[in-house]
Amino acid sequence: MTYAYLFKYIIIGDTGVGKSCLLLQFTDKRFQPVHDLTIGVEFGARMVNIDGKQIKLQIWDTAGQESFRSITRSYYRGAAGALLVYDITRRETFNHLTSWLEDARQHSSSNMVIMLIGNKSDLESRRDVKREEGEAFAREHGLIFMETSAKTACNVEEAFINTAKEIYRKIQQGLFDVHNEANGIKIGPQQCISTSVGPSASQRNSRDVGSNSGCC
């Protein structure tokens, strides 16, 4: 399967916020309520289409426990995008965002696009963190923000794809050096940047998602 670019993503956040479930929903379009816990790092990949270009997202899903932080830090290297996830029903996962963000900023390329995600938006009755708080945090730290539900799939596509769009925008603005793999971007095999990639068989797997569907 050919692609124009490969973006490396990393998913971070406290344990149990739904990182693996978000990934599974995005790559397999299914929700597993009881998911095996992640130790070390696990991987997922999917093709998306941004502006008519096939882009492969290679997603690193990390362990959330505090003890694993020293290891997680080594996974930031060469990531183009990060999904920083908290659980809207557990305030402590929101309170820990600052320290996650510090880690992310410190161990990644300065151009890395960070998407803040308040997950489990389907559990409105148990909500512990207001949407506005998430928005304010994102504004303050220059992040993109979305509330998602890995269970209902609400905004999951959008979260991954909007991050890709932002990275793509940065590439076009010349902010990313696509030839330096340390930035988390790889040019696809047999591709040169000027070639435009037409729709291929992988098209059926990907959708160009427009603006927020606003289901959350």
Residues lying near other proteins in the complex (CB under 8 A) are found at: 15-16, 34-37, 39-42, 63, 65-68, 70-71, 74-75
The nearest distance, CB 189 to other proteins, in angstroms, is: 13
Residue whose CB is less far from other proteins, 16 or 153:
16
Q: What is the Cα–Cα distance from 35 to 21, expressed in whole angstroms?
A: 7
Rounded Cα–Cα distance for residues 169 and 166 (Å): 5
Q: Which is nearer to other proteins, 34 or 201 (CB)?
A: 34
Residue 133 structure tokens: 């708080």
> Which residues, 6 or more positions from 162, have their beta carbon under 8 angstroms from its beta carbon?
115, 144, 146, 209
Nearer of residues 106 and 211 to other proteins, judged by Cβ: 106
Question: Closer to other proteins at the Cβ: 69 or 131?
Answer: 69
Shortest Cβ distance from residue 67 to other proteins (Å)? 5
The 3-state secondary structure of 73-139 reads HHHCCCCCEEEEEEECCCHHHHHCHHHHHHHHHHHCCCCCEEEEEEECCCCHHHCCCCHHHHHHHHH
Residue number with CB closer to other proteins (90 or 169): 90
Q: Minimum Å distance from CB 126 to other proteins? A: 15
CB 164 within 8 A of CB 136: no
Closest CB 63 distance from other proteins, rounded Å: 6
CB 150, min distance to other proteins, A = 14
Measured torsion, CA atoms of residues 44, 91, 107, 38, in degrees rounded to the nearest 10: -30
